[in-house]
């Protein structure tokens, strides 16, 4: 952002110099001076003509002398008048000063009307709640890799490469690219937030550990970093710190338009966090997901329905009781981790064929059809509680669109 404004200032100064210097240095000669100079030239020509006439015998010596004396007197008068007329300096100096002041003011005013003041901040596509548009496929990634290899300090190419890796679901490579980027640009909150997001995806969509440290760095740089606040709330929910989640998400909600989809999503997350916290304050055990879910709602159109199958990895078979709970749920790919649809089974039911739709929503405003991309999670919970705990096993899908059919999930990861 700082570099952007410095560039604007330099370009504005160049524009001012092009306009102001010619106005400041220019001179204007009086019209009267030009007219008198022309008259003087005419008188000189007349004297020359009289000299020629005398030579050719057309004028007598007396008449020539008399006429020449009169013309010389007039020449002297004209010369005196020309000498007394002052050549005026440029009257445009004040205009040059005025333009030097007005040009940058007008430029800034115009930019605030038609430009985007947040284009280089964390609240835009870089660090806001929406992601940058697609960078391209493997060809673009290969080209970007070559650019970065030839110039590792090329911050723009590093950023584009990190985004391209993210879209290609090469999360570990994306995290590494963001790590390299922070060596050259360390004062932008959105970079640290994006880095945390990529690293979390690389470690099974968990924000525990280093991703949380990166989020804290983002918020230290900019306490109003929207992506930083969103991730901080999710990280707090993941570790069971519901008070911190509420604090972060309330601050984030205050930065969002009240009627926006993002605001509705945050409201749903806040409702979940408050329910969890009030339950714990009441001295009760952590709630199971089915305890906080509202009664089933009427089925939606079905276009949002996600179907698939959940299986258990061979390496984990026999390690969990047949009575242990299996949750199959969908949640937003970004933002609060509150389930958008949930199904409860047991280990003995595996493999499980599932369907998730809007009728399984925990909050009316938090449904599958409300989001462009979601993640499907299958988790074995020994305690049967809502929050993942160490020792649970889970499997996650890549971000997918509501309406996706035939999703295959394998429970093959142990929650740390």
Distance CA 212, CA 386 (A): 21
Distance CA 331, CA 366 (A): 9
Q: Please report the pLDDT score of residue 358 as a whole number.
A: 83
- Evaluate whether 328 touches 343 at the Cβ level (below 8 Å): yes
Distance CA 200, CA 207 (A): 5
Residue 30 phi, psi (nearest 5):
-60, 145
Q: Please report the pLDDT score of residue 386 as a whole number.
A: 59
Paired tokens of 333? 């790919």
Distance CA 286, CA 269 (A): 17
Q: Which one is predicted more confidently, 36 or 343?
A: 343
* Over residues 72-79, mean pLDDT: 63
> In the predicted model, is pLDDT for residue 351 greater than 60?
yes
The pTM of this model reads: 0.49
The residue assigned the tokens 């879910």 is 293
As a residue count, the chain comes to 416
Q: Please report the pLDDT score of residue 2 as a whole number.
A: 58
Strands 339-346, 325-332: pairing is antiparallel
Q: Please report the pLDDT score of residue 203 as a whole number.
A: 83
pLDDT tens digits for 34-74? 555 666 677 677 777 777 777 777 767 777 677 767 766 76
* Mean per-residue pLDDT over the chain, rounded: 76
What distances in angstroms separate CA 226 from CA 1, 86, 163, 254, 332, one per listed residue?
A: 17, 66, 18, 10, 16
Q: Please report the pLDDT score of residue 296 as a whole number.
A: 43
pLDDT tens digits for 97-133? 777 777 777 777 776 666 655 554 444 444 443 333 4
> In the predicted model, is pLDDT for residue 242 greater than 80?
yes
pLDDT tens digits for 388-406? 778 889 999 999 999 899 9
């Amino acid at each position: 952002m700082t570099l952007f404004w410095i560039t604007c200032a330099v370009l504005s100064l160049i524009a001012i110099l092009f306009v102001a210097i010619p106005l400041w240095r220019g001179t204007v000669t009086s019209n009267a001076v030009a007219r008198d100079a022309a008259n003087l030239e005419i008188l000189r020509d007349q004297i020359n003509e009289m000299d020629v006439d005398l030579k050719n015998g057309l004028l007598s010596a007396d008449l020539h002398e008399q006429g020449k004396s009169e013309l010389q007197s007039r020449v002297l008068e004209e010369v005196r008048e020309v000498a007394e007329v002052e050549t005026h300096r440029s009257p445009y100096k004040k205009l040059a000063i005025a333009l030097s002041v007005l040009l940058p003011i007008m430029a800034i005013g115009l930019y605030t009307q038609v430009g985007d003041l947040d284009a280089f901040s964390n609240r835009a596509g870089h660090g806001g709640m929406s992601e940058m548009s697609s960078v391209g496929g493997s060809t673009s990634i290969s080209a970007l890799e070559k650019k970065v290899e030839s110039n590792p300090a090329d911050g723009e190419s590093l950023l584009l490469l990190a985004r391209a890796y993210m879209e290609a679901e090469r999360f570990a490579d994306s995290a590494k690219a963001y790590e390299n980027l922070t060596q050259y640009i360390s004062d932008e909150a959105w970079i640290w937030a994006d880095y945390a997001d990529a690293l979390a995806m690389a470690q099974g969509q968990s924000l525990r550990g280093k991703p949380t440290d990166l989020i804290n760095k983002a918020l230290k740089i900019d306490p109003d970093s929207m992506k930083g606040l969103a991730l901080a709330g999710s990280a707090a929910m993941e570790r069971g710190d519901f008070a911190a989640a509420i604090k972060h998400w309330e601050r984030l909600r205050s930065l969002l338009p009240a009627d926006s989809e993002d605001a509705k999503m945050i409201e749903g997350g806040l409702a979940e966090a408050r329910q969890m916290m009030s339950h714990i304050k009441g001295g009760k055990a952590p709630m199971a997901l089915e305890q906080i879910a509202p009664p089933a709602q009427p089925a939606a159109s079905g276009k949002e329905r996600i179907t698939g199958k959940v299986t258990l990895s061979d390496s984990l078979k026999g390690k969990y009781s047949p009575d242990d709970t299996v949750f199959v749920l969908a949640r937003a790919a970004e933002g609060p981790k509150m389930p958008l649809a949930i199904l409860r089974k047991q280990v003995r039911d595996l493999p499980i064929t599932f369907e998730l739709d809007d009728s399984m929503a925990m909050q009316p405003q938090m449904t599958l059809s409300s989001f462009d991309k979601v993640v499907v999670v299958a988790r074995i919970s020994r305690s049967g509680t809502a929050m993942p705990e160490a020792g649970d096993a889970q499997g996650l899908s890549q971000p997918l669109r509501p309406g996706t059919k035939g999703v295959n999930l394998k429970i093959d990861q142990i929650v740390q």
